[in-house]
Structure 1
C-alpha cells in the first residue's frame, strides 16, 4: 500500500455523503463505507491479492466511517 492510496478514504467519505444526500438510511451508511473500502482494496490497491485487498479495504472503510460513530449508527434505532 502506497501513501497516495490513502486518498481513497476521503473518496469513500464523499461517496457515503452522496448516499446520505439521496436518502439512504443512516444506519446503512457505515456498511456502505465498509463495502466501498473492500471494493477499493480488492480492485485498486491489491488486485492480485484478494486477502490483502479485503483486509486493507476493511481498514479504509472503518476509517472512513469513523470506527465508533459508525458502529453507533448501526446499533441505534431510527426515531
Structure 2
C-alpha cells in the first residue's frame, strides 16, 4: 500500500504546481492542480486498487496544497514584517 518514502511525492507535487503556475495557470487554481496531481500520481504510480489510489491521492494532493499555502503564508508574513 502506502509506504513512508512515498511521502516524497508531496514536494514533487508542489514542484509540478509551481510549473503550472509559471505556465499561466492562476494561483487560485493551485489547490485543484495539487489534488489532481496527487490523484494521478497515486493511481498510476502506487500499487493497489483504484479506491486506495483515490484516497491516497486526495491525501497527497491536499497535503501538498496545505504545505504550499502554509509556507507561502509564512514567507509573506516575514516579508511584511510580521512575527
Please list every run of 5 or more consecutive structure 1 residues that lacks an aligned counterpart in the other structure: 71-79
Distance 1:40 1:23 in 2: 22
Task: Tell me the residue number matched to 2:44.
Answer: 43
Task: Tell me the residue number matched to 1:63.
Answer: 63
Distance 1:4 1:45 in 2: 11
What SS does structure 1 have at the residue aligned with 2:24?
coil
Matched residues, number: 68
Please list every run of 5 or more consecutive structure 2 residues that lacks an aligned counterpart in the other structure: 71-83
Task: Tell me the residue number matched to 1:73.
Answer: none
State the Cα distance separating 1:2 from its structure 2 match: 1.0
State the Cα distance separating 1:55 from its structure 2 match: 0.1
The residue correspondences of 1:1-79 to structure 2 (distance < 5 A) are 1-46=2-47, 48-66=48-66, 69=69
Give the aligned CA root-mean-square deviation in angstroms. 1.7
State the Cα distance separating 1:9 from its structure 2 match: 0.4
State the Cα distance separating 1:45 from its structure 2 match: 1.3
Runs of 4+ in 1 over 6 A off after TM superposition: none
State the Cα distance separating 1:27 from its structure 2 match: 1.5
| Greater C-alpha Rg | 2
